[in-house]
Each structure stands twice: as structure tokens, then as C-alpha cells.
Copies of this chain bind each other. A is one copy, B any other.
Amino acid sequence: MGVGHHEAAWRHPRTEPARLTDVRHYQDLARIAERGKLDSVFLADGVALHGNVAHNALGGLEPLTLLSALAAVTDHIGLIATVSTTYNEPFHVARKFASLDHISGGRAGWNIVTSAGEAEAGNFGVERPAHAARYARATEFLEVVRKLWDSWEDDAILGDRVRGHYADIGKIHAIEHAGEHFAVRGPLNTSRSPQGHPLLVQAGSSEDGKEFAARYAEAVFTAQQTLAEGQEFYADLKGRLAGYGRRPDELLVLPGISPIIGSTEREALRLEKELEDLIIPAYGLAQLSHMTGIDLTEDALDEPLPDVPVETEGAQSRRKLVVDLARRERLTVRQLLGRLAGGRGHRVVAGTPEQIADQIQEWFLDGAADGFNIMPPILPAGLSDFVDHVVPELQTRGLFRHEYEGRTLRDNYGLARPASQYAARQELVVAG
């Protein structure tokens, strides 16, 4: 979101960085996405000022507040907000997503992240938490949030004005959670929302991240550079679901793709070059240093990436991707910066609408993707180009919907609405 996924987007003449905090800019984007029958808009987020604001358009809006304002002007598009489990309380998070789900008529999704960075830890007065500790907390956090979402059964509200019975309190449950990280009595003070559970999304590709996704996630955003890597990730993740009693189709794999679209290939490459020319090396170097853990200076620009260990504490899957990319394509640091500037590790594809559609088709039919996270380099132009030119091409090929399947995000993703765990328990008692 913002003014585009290319790090130099804000300098391109077809963007308006002054609109970074203008809600109408995001409402326009959501309406364009809805015109294109896209499933959802997704807001990445962190709880610190990341990156060098001297050279990039940072300091935008908070996702949950923003998505409510988008809900008010749209009817179908899903609304997915990133919220961390690391510095939050499950009661607050469960309630805000339940509320967004009510407000949007069942279109809320939660991209669950943990917060790894120094900068984020510094805003909450704690030491940077270890990788395993973050996932242990996240796991218990999810258990609590799901209990809270289930704490009102679907038919708890009677609304009997004559007798004065508003709710059947036998169907509103204290959750009495008492675990290692959280003690939460419940119930939630917002009734069960249209989707039952807002959609659960996850994006970490570390070993812990994949296990977490296999257990809880219903959609996974992932950065994969090559078809082979995409297929491997897809098969790996889908294969883990059975371990949690889930079917492969209960989780959708959505690799990121940044499409640089031109009406001719030459026009697309010209746009790509325009953006590359606007890159500020100092900005990208700082990002790359942060990502790889290597202190890189301008002197290193035309050298290959120095040797670094690529696996540390089982985490940092993005670091491995970046180092592998540099090695595989024998890129200098400057060339690597150009590749990363487009999508921070996500795949960048420049071409005509047909060429973009070819790439999407290949990954979709060859077992690397159930869908895609479309990350236009510049906004709104890159999104309207995608919606007006790539979507019709995909529709013609029979690969994309002409109309939304339903009213909720779950309907459009083809995912079931979960039952309340408390209702299920009651039914078992009745059946037994």
C-alpha cells in the first residue's frame, strides 16, 4: 500500500506522496481493487519507524483504523490488517478484529506477525525477544483469541423484548484461559462476528513460521523468487497441514508478485528503468545491511555480496532468500539493490499484461500458488493497470472470477466458517 511497493515510488511523477496519510487515497485504492474483483487489500505494518525516513515516504496510517474507514466505502473487498502478537494483549486484538468483522459485514482478516526488531522492542521497554519465545507467545495468543471469538455462540442473542431476555447466558462463555503467557477470563464484550473467526493470515517462512501457519493460518503470504522455490514451499507447507488434522485446501498459498506493466514490453522495461534510476543507494544499502546483518557501505556497491552465514537461530528466512538470489544470479551489491527495491525480496515481473498473466498462470497451474499478493510498484496507477489489463486477461483464460462468490472474505477465499468451540462441545454432550 502507501504510494507503491517500489522503494523509490514516492519519487516517481505518477505517485502523490502527500497522500500518504490521506484516507481518500486508500479508499480510491480499495475501490479500484473491488472493481477488479480482487479478494482483499492487505496492509503490512510494524510498530516502529522502520527504514530511513530521510529517503522514503514513511509514517503512514495504522492498519485497523484505516481498514474500518475502507469498510465504510466498499461492499466486497476483504480487509486484512497486520497486527503483532508480541507487544499486544489478546483481548484487545480479538475485540478489534471482531469489531472490524462486524463493521465490514464479514470481511476482516488478521495477518499475524511477531515483532523481531530492536526498534520495535525499544518502543515497549523490553529486550528484543528470541525467535522461539516469540512463536511460543504467538501460539498461546492465537489460542486465547480463538476462544474469545468463540465465547459468544452464534445463537446466543435472543433479543426477546417482550420477556426481557436479551441473551441466553448459557451460550456466552467465560473462557477461563490460564497459560504460560496469558490469563484471560472472558467472555469477549463484542458478540460473535459474521465470519465467526476473521480470516487468519500468516507470512513468516522460517521453520517455526511454517509450523505456525500449518496449525492456524488460512492464507499465507510468501516471498518466492523462482518457480522451483515456489513449488517447494507450496508442497512443503501443504504437506504440514495433515499433522494438525487439516486438509490441504484449508490454507491458501499466496506468493508476492510485483508486476511492472506496460502496453508493450519496452514500455514496461522503461518504467522499471525509471524506478531504478530513482533509487537512492544509501537507502537501499541501509535496508540491505539490516536484512543481511552485513554492514555495507557505498564502496561495496560494485562488488559481489560478501560471504555471510545464512542461517541464524532458525529464523531470518528473508535473509536466506536475498543471499541465495545474489549468489544464483551473481549480482553485485548495486544490482541486488535494484532487484530488492522493487519488492523487498518478492518477485518482480516486468512485461505486458499477457506476459504477467503467463507468469501468474504458470505458478498457479504448476503447484506454486493458490493466488497471489499483488504488489504494484506505484499506486494507484500500478493497481489500476493490473485491474484494467491483467484481470481481464486472466478472466478470458478462465483463471479468475467475473463476480464475487459471496459477501464475506471466507466466501470469496472458499474457506468454511468455523463453528464455536463451545457450541461443538455442547453438541458432543447432546450426541453422547
> What 1/0 mask marks residues of chain A from 42 to 77 whose CB sits below 8 Å from any chain B CB?
000011111011111111111011111111110000
- Copies of this chain assembled into the complex: 2
A87 on interface, CB distance cutoff 8 Å: yes
Docked pose: A87 CA to B98 CA in angstroms: 19
A58 CB to nearest B CB, Å: 7
Do A88 and B92 have beta carbons less than 8 Å apart? Answer: yes
A379 on interface, CB distance cutoff 8 Å: no
Docked pose: A59 CA to B148 CA in angstroms: 12
> What 1/0 mask marks residues of chain A from 7 to 21 whose CB sits below 8 Å from any chain B CB?
000110100011011
A48: nearest chain-B partner, CB-CB: B189
Do A64 and B167 have beta carbons less than 8 Å apart? Answer: no
Q: Which one of B47, B99, B278 lies within 8 Å of A62 (CB-CB)?
A: B99
Q: Which of A22, A49, A67 has the most CB of B within 10 A?
A: A49
Query: Given A102-B21, A123-B91, A166-B57: A11 and B185 within 8 A (CB)?
Result: no
A309 on interface, CB distance cutoff 8 Å: no
Do B166 and A66 have beta carbons less than 8 Å apart? Answer: no
Docked pose: A20 CA to B166 CA in angstroms: 12
Which of these binds chain B: A157-165, A297-305, A391-399? A157-165
A105: nearest chain-B partner, CB-CB: B23
Residues of B within 8 Å of A166, CB to CB, are 10, 17, 53-58
A308 CB to nearest B CB, Å: 27
Query: Given A62-B190, A99-B62, A280-B164: A89 and B49 within 8 A (CB)?
Result: no
A96 on interface, CB distance cutoff 8 Å: yes
Residues of B within 8 Å of A112, CB to CB, are none
A281 CB to nearest B CB, Å: 10
Residues of B within 8 Å of A60, CB to CB, are 190-191
Do A54 and B11 have beta carbons less than 8 Å apart? Answer: no
Do B53 and A103 have beta carbons less than 8 Å apart? Answer: no
Docked pose: A22 CA to B167 CA in angstroms: 17
19 A-B pairs with CB atoms under 8 Å apart are A10-B159, A10-B161, A23-B72, A27-B72, A53-B169, A54-B165, A54-B167, A54-B169, A57-B159, A61-B190, A66-B99, A68-B68, A68-B69, A72-B72, A87-B89, A88-B92, A89-B124, A119-B185, A125-B182
